[in-house]
Amino acid sequence: MATYRRLPVSFERGEGAWLWSTDGTRYLDALSGIAVCGLGHAHPGVRDALCEQAGRLLHVSNLYHIPAQETLGERLCAAAGMDSAFFCNSGAEANEAAIKLARLYGSGRGVQRPDIVVMEQSFHGRTLATLSATGNRKAQAGFEPLVSGFVRVPYNDLAAVETAAANRAAIVAVLVEPIQGEGGVIVPDAGYLAGLRELCDRHGWLLMCDEVQSGMGRTGKLFAHQHEGVAPDVLTLAKGLGNGVPIGACLARGAAAEVLVPGSHGSTFGGNPLACRAALAVLDALAEDALPARAAELGERIQIGLRDGLADAAGVVAVRGRGLMIGLELDRPCAQLVAAALAEGVLLNVTAERVVRLLPPLIIDDAQAEQIISTVVRIVRAFLGQAEHSHAA
């Protein structure tokens, strides 16, 4: 079906941050399959784990114990300060699990029709419930009736959540991205997550962080909420978790960890041995190579490089982000920059119409970071109609 507008290129091979198209051209991947291949392509640790597991056992069903799933659950919970894990196959499914968990948590406390607070410009997935939670009217248009039970407030606005609390007695949870990805790489003010935590504590709500995009080391810590020293009750992961093997997770802590019980949720494929081995290899590599710290350092360098290179370019609104989750906002729609970058051998993305988004693999080297900076500066200057040489004097 025509669900995607595809660029005129196909890739047959990758290694690290490089991709080769079927006509033999080499590209620098500054998108990682949209924050998926954080370790780059053909990572040896992931490859070996997958090959070994493929020759042993791919799938058995959650009717049985799955040791790799239990190990992965324990390691993720230890890293995130959580108590239990549910495994699925995508970000949308991880958020579906969180939404169902929140509703069951509410109904268990006698709330008849529980509401979940969600944010403007948020993105939580394309299934009906996650689309309903998503703050993008264009993505929702035509799919009504949407799932009810979501209360929408502006992002980065604690007062709006207070107002919602005063008006809606049935709120049971807040679902929030610590950094909004699809919405335009929007980083909230310091203290926002802590403020949400405080509100959730005061009202007995669950704080649910959607780290499908911001998780797995990309922002400079394993999970973006850790920058704020805030512990969510529910944490959803996917994208970078399997480095390209589909896997999602919904982690929970404290009372939230006990909500889902046999019969209340499930998945045929979720947490199968193959996917869990891939995710375990990802956790190993992130730790062994200290990749979150590297992402923090490189992200800083790329942001500075973009700011310096575009300092005098009228039309640049902001360079922002955390670690290797970077957005460059322009004052006008700039979707054609994707093709311009492709022509220069770099893969990137434009989101929210005006934001160039960079999500390179965490393993990029210094020269690759420089190439990303120089290419983006060049194509953005050309796009804004300011040839570099005109500013040489």
Ligand X SMILES: *Cc1c(COP(=O)(O)O)cnc(C)c1O
Closest CA to 243 of 30, 36, 48: 36
Q: What letter represents residue 348's amino acid? A: L
Nearer to ligand X, 90 or 375 (CB): 90
- Paired tokens of 67: 């040791």
Question: Coil, helix or strand for 214?
Answer: coil
Nearer to ligand X, 45 or 244 (CB): 244
Nearer to ligand X, 200 or 208 (CB): 208
- Binding to ligand X (CB under 6 A) within 302-341 occurs at none
- Paired tokens of 144: 């009504």
Active site residue 86: no
Q: DSSP letters of 230-288? A: ---SEEEE-GGGGTTS--EEEEE-GGGGGS--TTT---SSTT-HHHHHHHHHHHHHHHH
- Is residue 351 a contact residue for ligand X (CB under 6 A)? no
Q: Which of 210, 221, 223, 233 is catalytic?
A: 210
Active site residue 210: yes
Which residue lies nearest ligand X, judged by its C-beta?
91
- Binding to ligand X (CB under 6 A) within 123-162 occurs at 123-125
- Is residue 87 a contact residue for ligand X (CB under 6 A)? no
C-beta neighbour count of 371 within 10 angstroms: 18
- Is residue 210 a contact residue for ligand X (CB under 6 A)? yes
Among 53, 90, 272, 371, binds ligand X (CB under 6 A): 90
Residue 49 neighbours by CB under 8 Å, 6+ apart? 277, 278, 280, 281
d(CA 164, CA 178): 20
Nearer to ligand X, 351 or 368 (CB): 351
Among 238, 260, 275, 340, binds ligand X (CB under 6 A): 238
Active site residue 312: no
- Is residue 216 a contact residue for ligand X (CB under 6 A)? no
d(CA 153, CA 139): 18
Interacting residue ranges for ligand X, rule: CB under 6 A: 90-92, 95, 123-125, 177, 181-182, 210, 212-213, 238-239
By annotation, the residues acting in catalysis are 123, 210, 239
